Amino acid sequence: MRMTEQQQKTSVLFVCMGNICRSPTAEGVFRHFVNEAGAADQIEIDSAGTHAYHVGEPPDRRATAAAERRGVSLAEIFARRVSDVDFERFDYILAMDEDNKMRLLDQAPEEHRSKVQLFLSFAPGRETEVPDPYYGGGAGFERVLDLIEEASRGLLETLSRN
């Protein structure tokens, strides 16, 4: 990814319901990939939830453990709720599933609705939603990581072409 001095950072916000499982995992994985690509100074990354259930809490311990097994840190990520300012601030607002996408579209000002997309639209597979692993076992968190890694690669490739 090459950018001139005049270009601003591209900003990406990952969104799920509570911001303790899927979206902080996406933030951590995508940040890891961006750092490996040497593009950390070109891309701003954050995550948030459509609900305020867990504001201020760290990611779910199972999500953190699964990510750490793959060399990805979720440290220093704390749950927050999507704010109205996020729609102006971020270039990409990527929902983990259709329900959260619809909630984002309901909240987004008309001029920023085009920024809201499904995260898995950047993945090569047929799946469109990252399933919520919260009420399941450890295998669910591994599946979420698989999907997030695929979409993160696709997103990074897309951003590097722009």
- Please report whether residue 1 resides in a domain: no
Cβ–Cβ under 8 Å, residues 20 and 79? yes
Share in percent of the chain as helix, strand, coil (round to 5): 45, 15, 40
| Structure tokens belonging to residue 5 | 């001095």
pLDDT at 48 exceeding the cut of 60: yes
2 is catalytic: no
Residue 16 has pLDDT above 60, yes or no: yes
Position 118 in a domain: yes
Average pLDDT score over residue span 82-109: 98
Q: Domain containing 42 — which CATH number?
A: 3.40.50.2300
Flag whether 7 is in a domain. Answer: no
The number of distinct structural domains making up the chain is 1
User: Which residue of the set 46, 60, 97, 132 is catalytic?
Assistant: 132
Classify residue 3: in a domain, yes or no: no
Tens of pLDDT, residue by residue over 124-162, are 989 999 999 999 888 999 999 999 999 999 999 999 988
Can 21 be counted among the known catalytic residues? Answer: no
Task: Determine, yes or no, domain membership for 21.
Answer: yes
Question: What does pTM read for this prediction?
Answer: 0.95
Instruction: Identify the active-site residue in 21, 22, 46, 103.
Output: 22
**Measured CA distances, 84 to 16, 36, 48 (Å):** 16, 31, 12
Query: Active site includes 132?
Result: yes
Is residue 27 in a domain? yes
Catalytic annotation, pick one of 16, 62, 97, 103: 16
Domain that residue 148 falls in: 12-161
